[in-house]
Chain A
Amino acid sequence: MTTQTPAVMVNSVPAAPQRRPGRVFGLLTAEWTKIRSVRSTFWTLILFVVITVGLTAGLTALIVHANGPNAPARDARIIADPVGFILGAGIGLGQLTICVLGVLVITSEYSTGVIRASLLAVPKRVTMLLAKIIVFSLLLIVLAEIVSFGSFFVGSALLHGLHLPGSTASLVTVKLSGPNVLRAVVGAGLYLTVLGLFALAIGGLIRHTAGAIATVIGAVLVLPILSGLLPSNWGAHINAYLPEQAGSLIFSDRGTAGQLLSAWEGFGVFCLWTLLLLVICAVLLQRRDA
């Protein structure tokens, strides 16, 4: 790519116009421009929608039509928590795209060096971070709620076809008006939004894309497995308070007795984890050389 070097003499730099009112609005639109103008945002969000809704539909359809020897036991589990099954089917894998995007939103600034331009424009670094958090959460909550409701409607429609062999009577009917159903569906969108911020915070702490993605995925997928190997009593406590385990209660709460945290308590624990990491991220951003 080449262009003609402009005429050697720059006649004059036009004077900059007066400031438009609304500093906060300006910072938010700047962050929105940054997020929307790179392809990684577009592709990760496309993947997020396709994987989440696609897997929900695929897995639910598979269950409805598969009648192996284990079917009755499996059906019993689904009937006990149909909403948790529907939402968990797609989010389990779909959430990884949100992890990747959350990390990229901040680490791509470091890997490409645009962080320097960003901080020259907004030297109050915590302000820049807050603007980024606000814009990213708004984007996520809108998209995650749409995907969550979409998955629910697709999944519940398909699950309605679950019936005993030889019968046409549906075994399970899930309606949005059912107990805790709306909470679970809205909650899944909230969970994904907070997960994006959780990933953003870790991205801001680690500042390298690969390392940060590995860390977030480790925290979301691997930690629960490891803590599951711990001896029963205190292992269960640790497990319950892990970010992903606590956070996902909001959409997969089976309401079983003896559970350490309720759905909202679990979500609160997840929010506290995220807040803690964001605060550390802000402090380090302020202190470190860019």
Chain B
Amino acid sequence: MIEVLGVTKRFGAKVAVNDLTFTVEPGRVTGFLGPNGAGKSTTMRIILGLDRPQSGTATIDGVPYRDLADPLRTVGALLEAKSVHTGRSAYNHLLFLAQSQGLRSSRVNEMLDLVGLSDVARKRAGGFSLGMGQRLGIAAALLGDPQVLLLDEPVNGLDPEGVLWIRNLMKHLASQGRTILVSSHLMNEMAVTADHLIVIGMGKLIAAASTAEVIAQGTQKSVRVLTPDPARLSGLITAEGGQVVPGTVLPSEAGAVDGADLLTVTGMDAKRIGELAASASVVLYELTPQLASLEEAFMELTSQSLEFGMHGGQSDGLLAAGGNTALAAEREIAK
């Protein structure tokens, strides 16, 4: 279990983490979500004893990181910033870490096999691709078979295959009862990986709840309706207490759909709208429940605290919510 209690970290006049308190429970993947510059990396570095906070404490199973004996046997970490000597081989990188923890060199080979780097173990790590570097980082994190794992933006820049690998690895490790804290600014990645979310913005806690709860609390659900008789259907829906606003035509259907026929209904589910339309013999061309994406929920939660302003593309989130998250991840990186 990771406990962060009232942690504040300032860099000069800039407050990176502001009186932050949360706990990370074992047995599930906890997503650590926030826009770039929200203080995620700094918080993780404080938990890991790399940065010293001005006030507050961070402990792992009740012990500050700096007081852990053989810390890699308790905590594994994958930092976002590079932490491998470019001139040293993958084998020697893991070897020195293993020696410092009293682990045999056979352990290094086990880890290299696990992450699929055995073939390049003797090559200089400086020549590794992003994905290989990430796998070396994972091997280092798992070296001591730790019960607690902190992963800072582990899927950043990875190809879809690499994203899937990391995602499954995290779920698997959590299912073994380990404590997993994984940070990301990619909301959709978290939607498919994390069971629980800790959302921060400008160094402050915004939400700490299950992923489903965060989505639910973030945005109202709506239904997209396409009908040749919008006026009559609107009347029926509002009479039953639903709210109707004109819908927006998606770029992909421009020309094929008349914008006047599109409605966005809130406060009433798709089932009831269909029943109303049938009872009044109103034709429906489309009746689509719009699930709020984590991205939207996140935008709503953090809109007060975004440091660099909100970037556009809420419809991106809608499209990506049920679809290919790797694609969304790439789109996110391109921004």
Contact = CB atoms under 8 A, between A and B. Distances in A.
Interface of A: 1-6, 8-10, 12-17, 19-23, 26-27, 29-31, 33-34, 37-40, 108-109, 112-117, 119-124, 287, 289-290
A119 B50 CA distance: 7
A5 B131 contact: yes
B50 A290 contact: yes
A117 B95 CA distance: 12
Given A30-B96, A117-B97, 18 more contacts: A3-B116, A3-B117, A5-B165, A6-B114, A10-B114, A17-B104, A19-B73, A40-B87, A113-B81, A117-B84, A119-B49, A120-B48, A120-B50, A120-B75, A121-B97, A121-B100, A123-B68, A290-B51
12 contacts: A3-B116, A3-B120, A3-B132, A5-B116, A6-B115, A26-B99, A26-B102, A40-B87, A108-B87, A114-B85, A116-B81, A289-B51
A1 B128 contact: yes
Contacts of A13: 114, 142, 145, 173
Contact of A33 (B92, B168, B176): B92
B88 A17 contact: no
A9 B172 contact: yes
B177 to A, nearest CB: 12
B101 interface: yes
Interface of B: 45, 48-52, 65-68, 70-73, 75, 77, 79, 81-89, 92-93, 95-97, 99-104, 107, 110, 114-117, 119-120, 123, 127-129, 131-132, 135, 140, 142-145, 161-162, 164-165, 168-169, 172-173, 176
A30 B99 contact: yes
A9 B95 contact: no
A38 B72 CA distance: 23
B66 to A, nearest CB: 4
Contact of B50 (A5, A16, A116): A116
Contact of B102 (A19, A37, A113, A114): A19
A23 B102 contact: yes
B51 to A, nearest CB: 4
Contacts of B117: 3
B328 to A, nearest CB: 19
Contacts of A21: 102
Point out which of A21, A38, A121 has the most chain B C-beta atoms below 10 A from its C-beta.
Answer: A121
Contacts of B75: 120
A156 to B, nearest CB: 39
A269 to B, nearest CB: 35
B132 to A, nearest CB: 6
A-B interface, 3 closest residue pairs, ranked by CB to CB distance from nearest: A6-B116, A16-B145, A37-B92
Contacts of B123: 1
Nearest to B50: A290
Nearest to A22: B102
Nearest to B167: A8
A21 B71 CA distance: 16
A113 B67 CA distance: 22
Contacts of B66: 123-124
Contacts of B176: 12
Contacts of B68: 123
Contacts of B169: 10
